Every structure is written in structure tokens, then in C-alpha cells.
């Protein structure tokens, strides 16, 4: 788990699962490595059983106060062995904090919870091994009222950062080389806790999530930062120190498919991007006058117009938004037409990185909202070639020549031609018949009926008489 922004591992509501080889790096905004709750006296009691866990906190760079490697509360039980909790510097940071206690039995006596001797068959105990390693804090156990410290103070193994052998930038924007495997001379390879059973757990010879092998290599967002040393800390040979089992890394995943090349005729621009961490909330920054003042300041410092600057604001880690985040990361993207302009902008960004105070002063003068804002984490510029929006190159497709007439027009033309041709043929045939004395249309000889005077006169007489 990387940079969760809150707690890395949460359990509650009667959870009774098992875990091994758990790893979390909390970064600058993480809170507790574990926050494990039950439901006070309500059963079933939460009882996670974790053997082999490494929690690396953000140390002095963490922006929160009161962090704990593990926070156990509301009567949770559990078994916790082979723990490595490191880099616990910071304000009020503690190793393990226990609060809101209930009627769970809190103990460091493994005999009370060893399942092979029928110990803790009802999951009523909270067991934390005294072999746990805690580095970076003087307060290894913190009992918060109404919880009371046990009569015999709980103990753990104390190790300095150098002795433990973990190194690297344990925060979000770091590019430093990382070593997550304890050095061979560290206490991580001695006084190993027995696992409760071997049907689920592997019996290992080291504490924490890592032994000789970094099984995250090739699988993690951090992969590009891992040391290339074969053995922990660059040792000449693998660590033994009581190790009975060394976990081999799984095969790495297949490499990602390469991005398709930009076509030769594509219209492209150059984008210069860099990040700035601001000590303010997202809601404060997204007020229009505030974000506009920021954009204008960036544009002025790099020598471009404000419309060439695009901003992306992030107050979340791994996709989880934190409304109460006290800092944000602003990604600045400056788009310019060519490589020469990109080089000029990149040089200007490098000047900001080299002298951040001048940028901070300009920002504070741009708007009262920045008057007391802390500016940090300014990253080096990154130049990339991008396609111009709305002008993406498309492979030309051969087009058919346009037709003079549409298909339906040709059909009408053919029909008319057939009809006219038929009429002309008919007319020609009729004329030929007439000239040959065989007319098609015969003339009717209708003769006028002869007149009958008598009849006509009679009719007239009859008509007269009437």
C-alpha cells in the first residue's frame, strides 16, 4: 500500500483474517499504518493475525500530527509478530497506540496465544510480540485513557535508521533510490517469531515484509526506484542471520505495450510540465481569483501567456479524494509550439526549482490567499510531444470519384429513353402502314338517311294538330 492519505490497513466489525508480508509506505499525508477496531464488548471480537509486516512512515516530512505505526482501539484483539515499523519521526508520532480499551486481554506472553498449546482459542487476547522493531521514535507504546499501561511495561526492539538499513526518499515526489530490505547486520534477522500455523503462513527467517528478495520489483509503482543491488544494502552475499526461508519474487508482469508512434504528418506541440506542492486545501485553491492568480504567476515566471498554462489539482492518493487535505499538488502544463520554445520554458522552470523563494514571493504578492501558504516539492520540468487538439492526424483513405449522376437519376433516364424509343418505333410503324395502303385506322363511310316528305309532313301535321 503506497501513500494512502489516511490509514493503510483498517480492520473492524469482528474481522478475524490472517496476513503476511504486508507493506505500506505512508508518505507525507498518511496517518496510521494500521487502524484496527472492534465493537467494544460486542462479539465476535476483531482478531486479525498478522505476521511479517513493514510500515514505513513519512517521518519529519509528514504533514499530520499524532501519527502511529499502528493504532488499536475499541477492544480489538489480535496477534502481531515479526513487525518492522520505521521512519516514525514527526510531530507526536508513536510506534503502537492502544486506546478505547475494552475487556480484551493485552499481553506480550506468546504462550497465552500459541494455538499449538490451545492458547487463545476464543480470540480474547491482544498480543504484540516484544521482538517487533520500531525505529524513529522514543515512544514505542502509547496507552490512551481509559486504557492503562500494563504493570510490566511492554518492550520492543529499538534500531536506528542506519542499523536497520532501509533507505530512500519515503515520500510521494521523491526519486531517490529505495532499499526496503533490512541490512544483514540488522535485528530483522534474529529473534524471529514463530508463525501460528504453517497452513497459511510461511515460516521465514526475517521480520517485516522483505528478506533477501524484494518481491515488489517489477510489480510496483516504485519499481523504477528500487536499488539494483543483488543483496540487501549491497552485501557481498545473501543475509542469513537466522533466516530459514527466503521468499523468491514472482515473475515480473509483461512489459506494457509501447505507445503508438506519432505519424509523420501529425500536427504536434511541446508540453513542459512540473509540479508544485501548496500548503492549502483544494477548495481554497479552486476559488477563481486564487487559481487565476496562481496561473498568471506561473505564466509570468516561465514567459508565456496565461492561456498556455493548464492546471491539474490533486489532493488525493490512489484515487481517494481527501476533502480535509491540508496540502495539494498542482501539476502545471505549459504548451508551446516547438522544441526551442520548450527548452526556453524548461530553463525557466529550472530557475524556479533552483530558487523557489522568488517564486514563492511572487505567488504571495499575487493574491492574499497565498500570503502564508507554504510552497514546496517543486519538481524538475518534463518535456513531452503532444498532438494538437482537434487536429489529430488521420491516415488518408482513398476515395471513389464522385459520380456525375446519382444512381436514381440514371434509372429515370433509362426509363424515359425506353418510353421515347417505343413511341418513335410505333409512330414509324403507323406511317409505313398508311403508305402501303394498309391504314391502321379505317375511315368509316356513314351515309345520310334520305328524307321522306310524307312522313316529315305527317309529323309536322301531327305536330300542328297538337
- Residue-wise pLDDT for 96-105, tens only, equals 999 989 888 8
Sheet containing 141-143: give its strands across.
9-11, 34-37, 68-73, 94-99, 141-143
Whether the pLDDT of residue 85 is over 90: the answer is yes
Do residues 308 and 282 lie in contact, with contact meaning Cβ atoms separated by under 8 Å? no
70 three-state secondary structure: strand
Backbone angles phi, psi at 98, to 5 degrees: -120, 120
The secondary structure of residue 23, as a DSSP letter, is E
Strands 34-37 and 68-73: parallel
314 three-state secondary structure: strand
> How far, in Å, CA of 410 to CA of 133, rounded?
90
Whether the pLDDT of residue 117 is over 60: the answer is yes
Lowest-pLDDT range, 156-160, 244-248, 374-378? Answer: 244-248
Lowest-pLDDT range, 47-51, 64-68, 127-131, 314-318? Answer: 314-318
Task: Describe the crossing of helices 339-354 and 288-302 by its angle, rounded to 10 degrees.
Answer: 110
pLDDT level of residue 463 (50, 70, 90 thresholds) = very low
User: What confidence score (pLDDT) does residue 403 get?
Assistant: 59
Helix, strand, coil shares of the chain, percent, nearest 5, are 25, 20, 55
Domains annotated on the chain, with CATH: 9-234 (no CATH), 268-387 (3.30.70)
Nearest residue to 84 via CA among 1, 24, 173, 144: 24
What percent of the chain lies above the pLDDT cut of 90?
36
| Residue 157 β-bridge partners | 133
> How far, in Å, CA of 114 to CA of 201, rounded?
14
Confidence (pTM): 0.55
> How far, in Å, CA of 240 to CA of 242, rounded?
6
> How far, in Å, CA of 113 to CA of 322, rounded?
38
Give me 181's grid cell. 530490505
Give me 50's grid cell. 498478522
64 or 334, higher pLDDT: 334
Lowest-pLDDT range, 8-17, 54-63, 96-105, 232-241? Answer: 232-241
User: What confidence score (pLDDT) does residue 192 get?
Assistant: 92
Strands 309-314 and 328-336: antiparallel
Give me 319's grid cell. 484515487
> How far, in Å, CA of 68 to CA of 85, rounded?
9
> How much is the mean pLDDT over the chain?
82
User: What confidence score (pLDDT) does residue 442 get?
Assistant: 59
Q: What is the mean pLDDT of residues 215-221?
A: 84
Amino acid at each position: 500500500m503506497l501513500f494512502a492519505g489516511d490509514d493503510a490497513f483498517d480492520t473492524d466489525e469482528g474481522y478475524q483474517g490472517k496476513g503476511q508480508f504486508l507493506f505500506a509506505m505512508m508518505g507525507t499525508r498518511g496517518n496510521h499504518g494500521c487502524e484496527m477496531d472492534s465493537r467494544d464488548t460486542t462479539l465476535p471480537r476483531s482478531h486479525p493475525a498478522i505476521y511479517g509486516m513493514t510500515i514505513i512512515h513519512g517521518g519529519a516530512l509528514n504533514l499530520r500530527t499524532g501519527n502511529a505505526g499502528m493504532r488499536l482501539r475499541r477492544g480489538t484483539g489480535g496477534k502481531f509478530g515479526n513487525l518492522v515499523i520505521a521512519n516514525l519521526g514527526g510531530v507526536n508520532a508513536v510506534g503502537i497506540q492502544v486506546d478505547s480499551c475494552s475487556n480484551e486481554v493485552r499481553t506480550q506472553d506468546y504462550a497465552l496465544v500459541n494455538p499449538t498449546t490451545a492458547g487463545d482459542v476464543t480470540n480474547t487476547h491482544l498480543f504484540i510480540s516484544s521482538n517487533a522493531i520500531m525505529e524513529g521514535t522514543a515512544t514505542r507504546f502509547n496507552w490512551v485513557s481509559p486504557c492503562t499501561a500494563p504493570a510490566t511495561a511492554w518492550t520492543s526492539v529499538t534500531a536506528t535508521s542506519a542499523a536497520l538499513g532501509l533507505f530512500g526518499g519515503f515520500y510521494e515526489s521523491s526519486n531517490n533510490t529505495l532499499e526496503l530490505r533490512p541490512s544483514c547486520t540488522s535485528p530483522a534477522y534474529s529473534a524471529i517469531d514463530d508463525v501460528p500455523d504453517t497452513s497459511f503462513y510461511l515460516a521465514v527467517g526475517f521480520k517485516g515484509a522483505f528478506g533477501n528478495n524484494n518481491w515488489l520489483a517489477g510489480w510496483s509503482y516504485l519499481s523504477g526506484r528500487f536499488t539494483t543491488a543483488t543483496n540487501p544494502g549491497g552485501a557481498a552475499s545473501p543475509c542469513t542471520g537466522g533466516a530459514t526461508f527466503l521468499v523468491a519474487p514472482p515473475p515480473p508482469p509483461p512489459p506494457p505495450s509501447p505507445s503508438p508512434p506519432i505519424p509523420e504528418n501529425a500536427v504536434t506541440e511541446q508540453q513542459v510540465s512540473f509540479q508544485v506542492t501548496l500548503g492549502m486545501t483544494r477548495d481554497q485553491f479552486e476559488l477563481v481569483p486564487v487559481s487565476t492568480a496562481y496561473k498568471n504567476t506561473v505564466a509570468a515566471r516561465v514567459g508565456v501567456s496565461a492561456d498556455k498554462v493548464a492546471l491539474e489539482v490533486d489532493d488525493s492518493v490512489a484515487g481517494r479524494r481527501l476533502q480535509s487535505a491540508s496540502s495539494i499538488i498542482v501539476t502545471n502544463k505549459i504548451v508551446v509550439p516547438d522544441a526551442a520554445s520548450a527548452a526556453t520554458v524548461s530553463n525557466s522552470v529550472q530557475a524556479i526549482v533552483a530558487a523557489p523563494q522568488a517564486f514563492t514571493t511572487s505567488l504571495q504578492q499575487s493574491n492574499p490567499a497565498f500570503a502564508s501558504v507554504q510552497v514546496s516539492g517543486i519538481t524538475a520540468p518534463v518535456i513531452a510531444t503532444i498532438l494538437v487538439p482537434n487536429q489529430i492526424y488521420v491516415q488518408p483513405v482513398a476515395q471513389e470519384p464522385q459520380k456525375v449522376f446519382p444512381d436514381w437519376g440514371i434509372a429515370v433516364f433509362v426509363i424515359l429513353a425506353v418510353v421515347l424509343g417505343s413511341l418513335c418505333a410505333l409512330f414509324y410503324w403507323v406511317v409505313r402502314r398508311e403508305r402501303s395502303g394498309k391504314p391502321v385506322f379505317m375511315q368509316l363511310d356513314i351515309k345520310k338517311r334520305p328524307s321522306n316528305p310524307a312522313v316529315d309532313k305527317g309529323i309536322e301535321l301531327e305536330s300542328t294538330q297538337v
